[in-house]
Copies of this chain bind each other. A is one copy, B any other.
Amino acid sequence: MELDTLDRAIVGALIEDARSTYAEIGQRIGLSAPAVKRRVDRLLSTGAITGFTARVEPSALGWTTEAYVELFCRGKTSPAEIGTAVARLPEVISACTITGEADALLHIRAKDVRHVEQVIERVAAEPFVVRTKSAIVLSRLIDDPPLAPHPA
């Protein structure tokens, strides 16, 4: 799972455009098309690259509202327990346990504010949830630019 300079260049090219041809990538980094393909196949099998996806304007699909919800859970709640519970809700697009007062932070996407409310209610209904604190997103400033290969 160790990536050399060429691997990182390939990953960078595929992050920029997942539909580039192997020849294009090869030309850019000084490698032949088959060599690029072999490396991409390896990056896929080792799990460094987990897949290729289209970036879609959420509003085009009807997701116009998003919110962040902090979860305060009762004493002995495991991360796994939270994970399995929120995984059932398709509106929850991101979830993690965090340091600080709250135990977990959810990022949810919904059709409208009413829909957000319904999701929060369903989350709050989980037996381990003591209370929630939510914030509706007003305007998005930066929208997950695919992560750059080199952290400096």
Taking beta carbons and an 8 Å cutoff, which residues of A are in contact with B? 1, 3, 8, 11, 14-19, 47-58, 60-63, 66, 68, 79, 82-83, 86-87, 90, 92-100, 102, 104-105, 107, 109-111, 115, 133-152
CB distance from A43 to the nearest CB of B (A): 8
Q: Which residue of B lies closest to A51 (CB)?
A: B55
Q: Which residues of B contact A52 (CB under 8 A)?
A: 17-19, 52-55
Complex Cα–Cα for A56 and B43 (A): 9
Q: Which residues of B contact A63 (CB under 8 A)?
A: 147, 151
Q: Which residues of B contact A14 (CB under 8 A)?
A: 53-54
Q: Which residues of B contact A115 (CB under 8 A)?
A: 151
Decide if A138 touches B49 in the complex (CB within 8 Å). no
Q: Which residues of B contact A152 (CB under 8 A)?
A: 90
Q: Which residue of B lies closest to A2 (CB)?
A: B60
Complex Cα–Cα for A139 and B98 (A): 7
